[in-house]
Structure 1
Amino acid sequence: MPVPTSVETLLSSQNITYDLASTAFEGEDPLIWHQQHLRQQGAARSILLQDDIGRVQVVLGADRLLDLTAVNRHLNRELRAADASALQQFCEANQFQSVPALPQVAGLLTLVDEQLLERDSLLLDSGDDTQLIRVHGNEFQQILKDAVVCQLSAPLAPLEADDSDADDLAQIEGAISNFTQLRIRQRLEETLELPPLSDTAQRIIKLRVDPNADISDLAQIVETDPSLAAQVVSWAASPYYSAPGKIKSIHDAIVRVLGFDMVLNLALGLALGKTLHLPKDGPSGELPYWQQAVYMAATIEGLVTAIPRESRPSFGMAYLTGLLHNFGALIMAEVFPPYYAQFCRLSEANPHVTPQTIERHILNMSRDQIASKLMELWSMPEEVVTGLRHQSNPNYHGENAIYAKLVYLARMLLRQHNIGTGPCESIPDSLLDELQLTRAKAEATVANVIESSDDLEHIASALNQN
């Protein structure tokens, strides 16, 4: 397939010698393959930004993180990433599958990362997902006549380094120390203990470690919190669980529908969620906090059920880990609002980068680190602490690794259905083998969740109102 006409015209008009680097499509999802192929080849990609003044094109390496602050400082504007509908409209109008990594290919003001000029030859996104354009470095510089060349990115590799063995406490304290210089005054202990756990959450945590706890104990705690009680009953009565008859009480919800372990972990997840305020800001296109939590928990519920019975992890722990998987985002938004706002804008401008990588760029720590450390201080189960801490690392093999791997798998499955943020990535066979799942079962699980989206969103809407 030839490159888009406007790309061919631009190259020809400037007498640029180029080759097409075509690669046979591998995998099942063209979008996932294209994003990973750009990264693996070290190719240049294009990102479309916009504000009230208009659109701007940015060209940088696919192995770099776009520093949106640097772009806005250079142009004295307030640009942010174009939303999905605007990007689709732009590509359709210009007959692109993706925005070509060529300056002014659509007549836009273009910023080019100066790091690209250090390369002897470059591979460029052609605007056609099946091939790249290869040009010599001198030829590429010839195209930059009317572009703005400046420093506007950071390398991804150091930010993505495996930090499984990091000293989280020391790293967080170091980050807090840096924040002090930026007028963030709280010490680590104060930061992680504000606001305090609710009485309900503290009672449920104590109940969790009580070997003699029974249904009456749990029902009594839930019933003392009218909001929590209403949510549990609403959950049990939802069409998603298809419970026969009307749910008349918390005891009824536990015995007939959800079960003790499910209600215990659900109540704990909801109580912890109420401890912090839901962020009013968020990356464009990201689902509300509780909607993401419900989708994740439901997906993990299905994955655990699909694992052979003799190899299944604790259903309740896995479900709770999924429900709390994004708790770190709440902490970031609550404790460091200016930095969370910066994270949102960078996330929109770097859809090829994971949220944790962007957070390390801004804060020198990730949501996973601070959430797991907070859970540890709250005496939460080790399974949850580990699951949250290593959820972004499919290669983690420490104790309780299965909970982290389930969250990673569920997130990748949902991401392929445009739920969540970050890159779409192929799921390695090795991960499925470790969990004793087939790809067909994993995909069937997320398909069932998507089919039940109306029921799940009904549950999530009640939680969002809370």
Structure 2
Amino acid sequence: MLENRGELPQFRLVLLHDAEGKALAILPANSLLNLVAIWKQTERQLQPVKSEDAKRYFGQEALRFPDGQAKLLSLKLLISPECLEHAQLELIEPHSGLSIVAISEQLQLGQRLDLGLTLPQIAEMQPEGDDTAVISKAVERFTVLRIQQRLEDTLGLPSLPPTVKKIIMLRSDPEASVKELVPVVKVDPSLSAQVMSWAASPYYAAPGNVSSIDDAVIRVLGFDLVINMALGTAMGQMLKIPDDLPRGATPYWMQAVYNASLAEKLCRMMPGNDQRPLPGLVYLSALLHNFGYLVLAHLFPPHFSLLSRYIEANPHFALDAIEQQILSVTREQIGSWLLTSWDLPKPVTVAIRQQNSLDYAGEHHQYAKLLYLSNRLLRQQGLSDGPVSQIPDELYQSLGLNEGEVAAALRELMSNDSDIKELTALLGD
């Protein structure tokens, strides 16, 4: 092996396995590993190994030395043709951080396959039209369903319970208060029990005993928190959390609670003026930021399993691009569309739809940017799914936030880890 990496082209290592044994895929680092293409070209059902297994395998001491690296490259190799266009190349493995330098001669015996897809290639294959048109085409393509006059009627999603409809009306009414909320909570036994559980949670550290619904809502939790958590949990419970998640994924409700708690903290740290988002709507947006993931699992169960394998094989790749490749629709598109059809406030639906779009500058853009920031910060802590990336300074500036103060707020949130996990357990995971 050569030692000087310099400006060598980067290629990614992915360990795969099936009943026949191991194989090592090598493709450009910025490409999506196309598992379906591998299955067709090799006639083997090769699957990516678990992230923890990849860390253990590629973290072996022997791989720091030439003999161990040579042994690694003696595995069955599946290589993109681009590998042989360079005399030297850097091979990296994202889970373990392994980085080695190889020469093209070491890869000559590999099976040459079309392994990867770039972001532009994925984008070229996407259907045109607005979100409703894209969702309709995806449903027709990947299910036996045929679009009726109203797309909502086609999807077979459960209707909103009466209590949830009342809560949505209250959430959308700027004049609503606990006076209108408490009676709605009291007539729903399940919601009443949840509210009492939340109020008694150590996370909220209520002084004294919580003796009634009025006490829980008025003294401990407040209007915004009760209404947002009630909406979030009611909608989350309408759709089953899928069984075949990507291995090593952060649990759904843990992501939701951490994102909601951090996004609201960041919102309250922004300069106080007429342009600052409403903390309650920021909390709700973040609590529901991943709701479309549940919808994808509900609509496309056979393909959801395939989506999970692709996410495992491509930890560096944007989740929305992987979803476009597999389903032609993203969780942000379908989640925002459905919540819009259920009449949730526009800042919430816009934030969810645009949460990955740093360039979005339209209405309610600060809500979307807060979700972007909280999600990326939590990815760095292993508490939210998706690739870890550098957060641009311009994002902090556009929100009027100080990076150091944000880091301190994140540390404070992390220090409440046990209390947040207990709250998460009350919500569903």
The question of whether the paired residues in 1 share the 8 Å contact of 2:58 and 2:98 is answered with: no
Which residue is 1:69 aligned to? 36
Which residue is 2:142 aligned to? 179
Corresponding position: 1:419 with 2:383: yes
Which residue is 1:3 aligned to? none
Corresponding position: 1:147 with 2:110: yes
The question of whether the paired residues in 1 share the 8 Å contact of 2:26 and 2:77 is answered with: yes
Corresponding position: 1:325 with 2:289: yes
Closer, same or farther: CA 322–111 of 1 in aligned 2, 3 Å: same
1: CA distance between counterparts of 2:42 and 2:340? Answer: 44
Among 306, 329, 333, the residue aligned to 2:269: 306
Corresponding position: 1:397 with 2:333: no
The question of whether the paired residues in 2 share the 8 Å contact of 1:20 and 1:131 is answered with: no
Which residue is 1:278 aligned to? 241
2: CA distance between counterparts of 1:189 and 1:103? Answer: 56
Give the TM-score normalised by structure 2: 0.89
Corresponding position: 1:447 with 2:414: no
Amino acid at match of 2:195: V
1: CA distance between counterparts of 2:122 and 2:399? Answer: 27
Which residue is 2:90 aligned to? 124
Any residues of structure 2 matched to 1:342-361 within 5 Å, and which?
342-361=306-325
Among 193, 201, 212, the residue aligned to 1:230: 193
Corresponding position: 1:199 with 2:165: no
Amino acid at match of 1:286: A
Corresponding position: 1:44 with 2:11: yes
The question of whether the paired residues in 2 share the 8 Å contact of 1:22 and 1:132 is answered with: no
Which residue is 2:340 aligned to? 376
SS of the residue 1:274 aligns to: helix
1:57: how far off?
A: 1.2
Closer, same or farther: CA 297–361 of 1 in aligned 2, 3 Å: same
Closer, same or farther: CA 80–200 of 1 in aligned 2, 3 Å: farther
Question: Could you say what the CA RMSD is over the residues aligned between the two structures, in angstroms?
Answer: 2.8
Closer, same or farther: CA 223–95 of 1 in aligned 2, 3 Å: farther
The question of whether the paired residues in 2 share the 8 Å contact of 1:386 and 1:400 is answered with: yes
The question of whether the paired residues in 1 share the 8 Å contact of 2:267 and 2:279 is answered with: yes
1:94: how far off?
A: 4.1
The question of whether the paired residues in 1 share the 8 Å contact of 2:90 and 2:99 is answered with: no
Give the TM-score normalised by structure 1: 0.82
Closer, same or farther: CA 42–175 of 1 in aligned 2, 3 Å: farther
The question of whether the paired residues in 2 share the 8 Å contact of 1:42 and 1:63 is answered with: no
The question of whether the paired residues in 2 share the 8 Å contact of 1:411 and 1:420 is answered with: yes
Any residues of structure 2 matched to 1:7-86 within 5 Å, and which?
8=1, 20-22=4-6, 43-51=10-18, 53-86=20-53
1:169: how far off?
A: 1.6
Amino acid at match of 1:302: K
2: CA distance between counterparts of 1:191 and 1:78? Answer: 33
1: CA distance between counterparts of 2:92 and 2:4? Answer: 9
Which residue is 1:4 aligned to? none
2: CA distance between counterparts of 1:19 and 1:167? Answer: 50
The question of whether the paired residues in 2 share the 8 Å contact of 1:322 and 1:407 is answered with: yes
SS of the residue 2:238 aligns to: coil
Superposed CA offset, 1:323-373 (max 9, x none): 000001000001111111111110000001121110000111211011111
Among 264, 269, 273, the residue aligned to 2:227: 264
Among 367, 372, 378, the residue aligned to 2:331: 367
Closer, same or farther: CA 413–211 of 1 in aligned 2, 3 Å: closer
Q: Which stretch shows the higher mean deviation, 125-134 or 237-246?
A: 125-134
Which residue is 1:11 aligned to? none
1:131: how far off?
A: 7.2
2: CA distance between counterparts of 1:130 and 1:104? Answer: 15
2: CA distance between counterparts of 1:259 and 1:384? Answer: 19
The question of whether the paired residues in 2 share the 8 Å contact of 1:269 and 1:320 is answered with: yes
SS of the residue 1:47 aligns to: strand
1:175: how far off?
A: 2.0
2: CA distance between counterparts of 1:296 and 1:444? Answer: 16
2: CA distance between counterparts of 1:245 and 1:400? Answer: 39
The question of whether the paired residues in 2 share the 8 Å contact of 1:43 and 1:122 is answered with: no
The question of whether the paired residues in 2 share the 8 Å contact of 1:301 and 1:315 is answered with: yes
1:392: how far off?
A: 0.8
Superposed CA offset, 1:274-316 (max 9, x none): 2211211211111221111111111112211222223531011
Closer, same or farther: CA 407–248 of 1 in aligned 2, 3 Å: same
Superposed CA offset, 1:101-127 (max 9, x none): x8863532221123444x456632267
Closer, same or farther: CA 72–250 of 1 in aligned 2, 3 Å: farther
The question of whether the paired residues in 2 share the 8 Å contact of 1:192 and 1:374 is answered with: no
The question of whether the paired residues in 1 share the 8 Å contact of 2:33 and 2:117 is answered with: yes
2: CA distance between counterparts of 1:122 and 1:370? Answer: 44
Unaligned runs of 5+ in 2: none
The question of whether the paired residues in 2 share the 8 Å contact of 1:20 and 1:134 is answered with: no
